[in-house]
Structure 1
């Protein structure tokens, strides 16, 4: 994978965290920068760890499916992209009721884990592409930290409605990357 593909993948992976952070920011009453950074770091660290776990799982299975690894990466990214698009389209507006000033640590960790499960599956696919997983995980973590922090800050102004469209865009990006991997491996654009 080249640098541009890595950056696109990293920011595509961070779109669900961005969408969730917009919702979290919208749920709080004017979240301060400190709370946005806290949320961004929690999401970023977890999002950096999960592709490494997936990569380890994929590496263990790679010897069995090396001849069709590009199809595995394509199908995983396609399914994850479709799932993100469907979840983004189905999300409902956040109702305003009691507005807290800060989210609990474990609520943020749970949300971050839920939004990073797709990163674990992408990690499985990355095991077949011979990428530097540490650099990839750090890039995904940094992108997620930036996007989740930005999402928290934007959430206070934009509300939760825009969060679902960010998730749809993230799904489209994942499908595009999966398609690119397949096209490159099959040599369709030579």
Structure 2
């Protein structure tokens, strides 16, 4: 029984890392704006909060849908995770660089929302599979917050070298989990 919980925790942490890679890669570019450490701390906390809020809403909706569609929930959850991962991989190859909003005020909220939208969809699929909500949300929020901080600080020095590769890695992990749910 303990091995099962350890495996579930490892899976959740890998999924949290995959979701946080999006925030990490965007934070690398944002970190080139020479932000103060106070601003970096606030950005990480806000993004962490949104990575808790968005999957929580998704999990609630997923659980409501799960009771409605019964046996198809596993199929829907696996397909959704695979689709999100594929979208992350394909968007990494889109070479148009979007104009980043300034990380203050409403711009910070839009920035946090934009990097946490994929966690809403993942939360929706996890809600379909009856995952442990509190552990999942804490893992997602903490991991994305720390990865955002790392990305912002490294962005001052790295200048975007890892951005595309981290999105590809994150998308590949989500695709793998989707396939595992479908066929495992």
Same fold by TM-score greater than 0.5: yes
Alignment partner, residue 93 of structure 2: 89
Q: Give the drift of 1:17.
A: 0.7
Q: Give the drift of 1:66.
A: 2.1
Q: 1:68 aligns with which of 72, 89, 93?
A: 72
Q: Give the drift of 1:74.
A: 1.2
Q: Structure 1: any 5+ residue segments left out of the alignment? A: 96-101, 185-190
Alignment partner, residue 27 of structure 2: 21
SS at match of 1:150: helix
Q: Give the drift of 1:162.
A: 2.2
Alpha-carbon distance in 1 for matches of 2:70, 2:93: 35
Matched pairs, number:
176
Alpha-carbon distance in 1 for matches of 2:57, 2:115: 15
Q: Larger % of helix: which?
A: 2
Q: Give the drift of 1:65.
A: 2.1
Q: Give the drift of 1:166.
A: 1.1
**1:166 equivalent in alignment to 2:172:** no
- Residue pair 2:25, 2:166 contacting (<8 A) in 1 also: yes
What is the alpha-carbon root mean square deviation over aligned residues?
Answer: 1.8
Q: Structure 2: any 5+ residue segments left out of the alignment? A: 1-6
- Normalized against structure 1, the TM-score is what? 0.86
Alpha-carbon distance in 2 for matches of 1:11, 1:76: 18
Runs of 4 or more, structure 1, over 6 Å off, are: none
Q: Give the drift of 1:160.
A: 2.6
- Normalized against structure 2, the TM-score is what? 0.88
Q: Give the drift of 1:164.
A: 2.1
Matches within 5 A, 1:21-40: 21-26=27-32, 28-29=33-34, 31-40=35-44
**1:179 equivalent in alignment to 2:179:** yes
Matches within 5 A, 1:129-148: 129-148=129-148
Alpha-carbon distance in 2 for matches of 1:106, 1:91: 26
Q: Give the drift of 1:112.
A: 1.2
SS at match of 1:90: coil
